[in-house]
Structure 1
């Protein structure tokens, strides 16, 4: 299956990104440290990539600590904003996770290093899991 390009605003190419990783105490930040190390290593390979440790990303993706959410607590949640080399945002931010083992972080890193600037869509298996909300009408 061929991946289709992920178009960005104004035909500018994403040369970098800002990746925010949840480090909330007793939350995603309590996940396996090897995953965070793999994310750090991947970010260092991209000249215009920035990894930011932050608090809960609940407003960007549904945090597993919210009542009624059935997403596993383990694993890091990451929000990535593609940008130009001068940090101008391009397109929407993309949510990933939970990342529960270093190979997932390495796969995300490979997409950040190669696929993002080529305009390829991220690997679907890494995209953020949507929580269940119980029965909705």
Structure 2
């Protein structure tokens, strides 16, 4: 398994909780070098998941065990109940070049100076 940090926006989740978020948390816990960070909106409000749909915006940053970024971060989302298990399997496999559904991943990379 390759180390990673997952950043999840919880603005659109009721009380910062959702079954999708709980599924992501469980997957990260199973990864020895995985870390999950919850935050406020990662994108403009017009580009985020719609409230009440149990979908979250996710950014995955591959890194080393020292938490230093390795390569670009990848934005996924909105990820909901239908896609979260695929994201979890992808995280657990740690193969950042493996294909993901284009519906919620346009292989968009988040800019970084790291």
Q: TM-score range by the shorter chain?
A: 0.7 to 0.9
Matched, 1:93 2:77: no
**Can you give the 5+ residue segments of structure 1 that lack an aligned partner in the other structure?**
1-13, 131-137
Q: Which SS does the other structure have where 2:34 is aligned? A: strand
Task: Map 1:11-50; keep pairs closer than 5 Å.
Answer: 15-24=2-11, 27=12, 29-30=13-14, 33-50=18-35
TM-score by length of 1: 0.64
After TM superposition, which residue ranges in structure 1, 4 or more long, deviate above 3 angstroms?
Answer: none
Contact 2:9–2:41 (CA<8 Å) still a contact in 1?
yes
Task: Map 1:1-137; keep pairs closer than 5 Å.
Answer: 15-24=2-11, 27=12, 29-30=13-14, 33-58=18-43, 63=44, 65-66=45-46, 73=50, 74=53, 75-101=55-81, 103-114=82-93, 116=94, 118-125=95-102, 126-127=104-105
TM-score by length of 2: 0.75
**Can you give the 5+ residue segments of structure 2 that lack an aligned partner in the other structure?**
109-114
Q: 1:88 deviation in Å? A: 1.4
Distance 1:121 1:129 in 2: 11
Q: Which residue number corresponds to residue 135 of structure 1?
A: none
Question: What RMSD, in angstroms, separates the aligned Cα atoms of the two structures?
Answer: 2.6
Q: 1:99 deviation in Å? A: 1.2
Distance 2:70 2:49 in 1: 30
**Aligned length, in residue pairs:** 103
Query: Structure 1 residues 84 and 35, CA, compared in 2 at 3 Å: closer, same or farther?
Result: same
Query: Structure 1 residues 76 and 121, CA, compared in 2 at 3 Å: closer, same or farther?
Result: same
Rg comparison, structure with higher value: 1
